[in-house]
Amino acid sequence: MEHTVTIKSIRPITHDVFRIQLEKPEGITYIPGQACDITLTRPGWEKEVRTFTFTSLQDDDHVEFSIKTYPSHNGVTNQIRTLKAGDKITLHDIYGDIHYKGEGVFIAGGAGVTPFIAIFKLLKKNGQIGNNKLIFANKTKGDIIDKDRFEKLLGKNFINVLSDEQDSHYEHGYVTPDLIKKYSDSSSKYYYLCGPGPMMDAVEKHLHSLGVKDESIVKEGF
Ligand SMILES: Cc1cc2nc3c(=O)[nH]c(=O)nc-3n(C[C@H](O)[C@H](O)[C@H](O)COP(=O)(O)OP(=O)(O)OC[C@H]3O[C@@H](n4cnc5c(N)ncnc54)[C@H](O)[C@@H]3O)c2cc1C
């Protein structure tokens, strides 16, 4: 697949995350949790393929990505900071290991929340939010993507963990076995995991130490 599409809008949603909405290409199909390889149409960048997760739903009239940018890498995401409506992006292959299997605990680190944004949008649409929980690990409050939306949607089932900021309303430190246990209950059949490699490795070990079997872990590394 290859579709070159126009950016309808682009705006910052945190200090370093941008939300981009694009024209929806004819015939594109994807499910919540899936990601897409993209390239920029800018001279010198056409061959640099990077992967981003759809934060829109198949039925939306546009395609959306939520992209954390890393100016220090001087790579594709730094270029994305200077894109504007009317610029073009090429969409390539679609794939991904995460999809919704049933109620559980979603554990995300930073931009690793993007597959869960799409999944929670679908659950809301289908009236299936139920007792699903989101444990979201970030450095500071300012890094929390879609904070208001998740607070409204999940209430007490939205648990924030901050490693670099102390606040009595939030858990402090990293995601630990005790923290996972504290927020798990009999409805926690699946554990969905997405974030940077080292965080994923650590949390997977914690889940195993709590007796969670591989069949109950749904994951994707960023
Ligand atoms: C399936 C999947 C889905 C994803 N979905 C999303 C998503 O929805 N949203 C999102 O924000 N991200 C997502 N990611 C992560 C995203 O793909 C990467 O953050 C992105 O590719 C980074 O691109 P970049 O060109 O800016 O930087 P990179 O490709 O990481 O780096 C560019 C260059 O910078 C240098 N560099 C690398 N690391 C450093 C460093 N620490 N300091 C200095 N220089 C460095 C290297 O020379 C490198 O070649 C996803 C990843 C996967 C695998």
Atom 36 in ligand 1: residue holding the nearest Cα? 73
Query: Please, is 209 exposed, middle or buried when counting C-beta atoms within 10 Å of its C-beta (0-12, 13-18, 19+)?
Result: exposed
Output phi, psi for 10, to 5 deg: -145, 130
What does the pLDDT read at residue 90?
Answer: 98
Does one domain contain both 123 and 197? yes
105-150 tens-digit pLDDT: 999 999 999 999 999 999 999 999 999 999 999 999 999 999 999 9
Q: For residues 131 and 217, state if they share a domain.
A: yes
For ligand 1, the distance from its centroid to the CA atom of residue 80, given in whole angstroms, is 12
CATH assignment of the domain containing 126:
3.40.50.80
Domain carrying residue 51: 3-95
Backbone angles phi, psi at 18, to 5 degrees: -115, 140
Q: Residue 1 has what pLDDT?
A: 82
User: Do residues 109 and 217 share a domain?
Assistant: yes
How many A from CA of 50 to the centre of ligand 1? Answer: 7
| Section 1-28 average pLDDT | 97
Task: Among 47, 68, 95, give the residue marking a domain's end.
Answer: 95
Q: Are residues 89 and 116 in the same domain?
A: no
202-218 pLDDT tens trace: 999 999 999 999 999 99
User: Are both 67 and 131 inside the same structural domain?
Assistant: no
Asked whether residue 34 falls in the same domain as residue 124, the answer is no
CA 189 / ligand 1 centre spacing (Å): 31
d(CA 143, CA 153): 19
Ligand 1 binding pocket mutation candidate from 52, 193, 218 (most atoms within 8 A of CB): 52
Is the pLDDT reported for residue 9 higher than 90? Answer: yes
Average pLDDT over residues 188-201: 96
- Mean pLDDT, residues 37-64: 97
Q: Comparing C-alpha atoms, which of 52, 41, 43, 37 is closest to residue 5?
A: 41
Atom of ligand 1 nearest to the CA of 95: 1
Pocket of ligand 1 (CB under 6 A): 35, 50-53, 65-68, 70, 72-78, 96, 111, 114, 220, 222
Distance 22 CA to ligand 1 centre (A): 20
Looking at the structure, do residues 68 and 143 belong to the same domain, yes or no? no
* Residue bearing tokens 């270029």: 79
Residues 54 and 120 in one domain: no
Protein residue with its CA nearest to atom 39 in ligand 1: 73
pLDDT score, position 209: 97
pLDDT digits (tens, 9 = 90+) for 155-182: 999 999 999 999 999 999 999 999 999 9
Q: How many domains does the chain have?
A: 2
**CATH number for the domain including 73?**
2.40.30.10
Query: Pick from 65, 95, 125: which residue ends a domain?
Result: 95
Whether 26 and 127 share a structural domain: no
Residue 91's Cβ-count burial label (10 Å; 0-12, 13-18, 19+) is: buried
Predicted TM-score of the model (pTM) = 0.96
In tens, the pLDDT along 77-109 reads: 999 999 999 999 999 999 998 999 999 999 999
